[in-house]
A and B are shown apart, each in its own frame.
Chain A
Amino acid sequence: MRGITPRREQGMADPVLAEMVYATGATESRHYAAVKPTIQAYRASWVTIAPRRDGVVNPQRTVVNDPAAMTARIKAKATELGADMVGVCRLQPDMIDLGSEVPHEFVIAACVAEDYEKVMQGPDAVEEEAMWTYARCAEIATELAAQIRAMGYPARAHHNGGSEVQAIPIFYQVGFGELGRHGSLINEKYGASFRPGFVTTDLPLVEDKPREFGVQDFCMNCNVCQRNCPGDAIPQDHVVTHGIKRWLIDLEKCYPYSRLREEYCHLCVDVCPYIVKSHPETYKAFMKERKQVGYKTPKTY
């Protein structure tokens, strides 16, 4: 199946970031240039396992007479490996990168939640938590794909070390939640504080369904992420893509805070009120801090 959704290049391969970095006279974004050893180690971990994203399929195929039971088994395995949420849907063109071919019928999403308590420890702790979570997702997807191939079905892991699939359309279709104003998918338990790993496969599975619980309507009136965005990068207006409201972040305004500084910026996710149910005290304390600085990020953040 051929993909139709453009993927923005990362790092200096992104023409928007490259133009902004070169305009400052630098050759690398300050955020990427100032990576700490722990973060480097996490990044190295998903690069190291990238060659195992795909591999040889066992020629002796396990017969699947009950796809529902197999789906339950796969979800249990992903949970055992450390996933906090697991969902399955049929692969669609909008879930695949523009120009890429993915020859599989299903996609399994396995997400790991970030420890929201880290937000109170500042941007370094938040970044470390985010990268740790990405590394865990890469390990889970790699192991899950290997186990499916061992059952005799093609399977490919998609994670930070290599991916041809798009997180948001898959998250929505497997029922993790709805797209929020800040551009991330919102789950009623984890807010937007979770990271993804995926496995595409032909293993017979049973699809989950999208779940809507009012996020898009809520985001029409809640401006908390907008008010807290230091770059004013989150727009007032939305567009519609395949029937879903999308608020497209202005990267020219986002990057000065998220790429041109050394510090990690995760504020739009951290202030999202959907996290309050699972972390009421931390969220309230964090928002009290935010209010004291006028919701804008001080230069020392």
Chain B
Amino acid sequence: MEKLYVNEIGPDGDVSTVSLFYSHPEAQKIVDTLRADPDRAAYRYEIVEAVRHTLSEKQARRAAPAQKE
């Protein structure tokens, strides 16, 4: 499944993540609903790929032998 964040960008440039979504149509539906809210007219929205790391990946990186140049 896709992993996508919807971010809300405020008038002052502050970025606030709305949530994590699992398909572009699901994320786009949320963006469309927020854009339709007149109280949010000053906000912009973006859908970005969610880059996520898990603990097991962190542990795997730690366990990997150091690379000599």
- The reply on B12 being an interface residue by CB < 8 A is no
A232 pairs with B20, CB closer than 8 A = no
* Residue of A6, A15, A227, A243 ringed by the most chain B CB atoms within 10 A: A6
Query: Quick one: CB contact mask for B1-42 with A, threshold 8 Å, 1 for yes?
Result: 101010000000001111110110010001001100101100
A235 pairs with B54, CB closer than 8 A = yes
B55 pairs with A240, CB closer than 8 A = no
Size bracket of the B interface: 20 to 34
Residues of B within 8 Å of A243, CB to CB, are: 16
Q: Do A248 and B20 form a contact, CB below 8 Å, given A4-B34, A98-B33, A99-B33?
A: yes
B33 pairs with A252, CB closer than 8 A = no
B34 pairs with A236, CB closer than 8 A = no
B37 pairs with A2, CB closer than 8 A = yes
Residues of B within 8 Å of A6, CB to CB, are: 18-19, 30
Select from chain B the residue with minimum beta-carbon distance to A253.
B54
Is the contact region of chain A dominated by helix, strand, or loop, or is it mixed?
A: mixed
B5 pairs with A239, CB closer than 8 A = yes
Query: Quick one: CB contact mask for A14-35 with B, threshold 8 Å, 1 for yes?
Result: 0110010000000000000000
Query: Quick one: CB contact mask for B26-69 with A, threshold 8 Å, 1 for yes?
Result: 10001001100101100000000011111111100000000000
Q: Do A232 and B55 form a contact, CB below 8 Å, given A246-B17, A248-B20, A250-B20?
A: yes
Residues of B within 8 Å of A223, CB to CB, are: 55
Q: Do A235 and B53 form a contact, CB below 8 Å, given A2-B37, A4-B40, A6-B30?
A: yes
Q: Do A240 and B15 form a contact, CB below 8 Å, given A4-B34, A93-B39, A250-B52?
A: yes
Complex Cα distance, B7 from A242, in Å, reads 11
A252 pairs with B22, CB closer than 8 A = yes
- The reply on A300 being an interface residue by CB < 8 A is no
Complex Cα distance, B59 from A227, in Å, reads 10
Select from chain B the residue with minimum beta-carbon distance to A94.
B16
Of the candidates B1, B40, B56, B57, the one whose C-beta lies within 8 Å of that of A252 is B1
How near does chain A come to B25, taking the closest CB pair, in angstroms? 9
* 5 cross-chain CB contacts under 8 A: A16-B1, A232-B55, A234-B55, A237-B53, A241-B16
What residues of chain B have their CB less than 8 Å away from a CB belonging to chain A?
Answer: 1, 3, 5, 15-20, 22-23, 26, 30, 33-34, 37, 39-40, 50-58
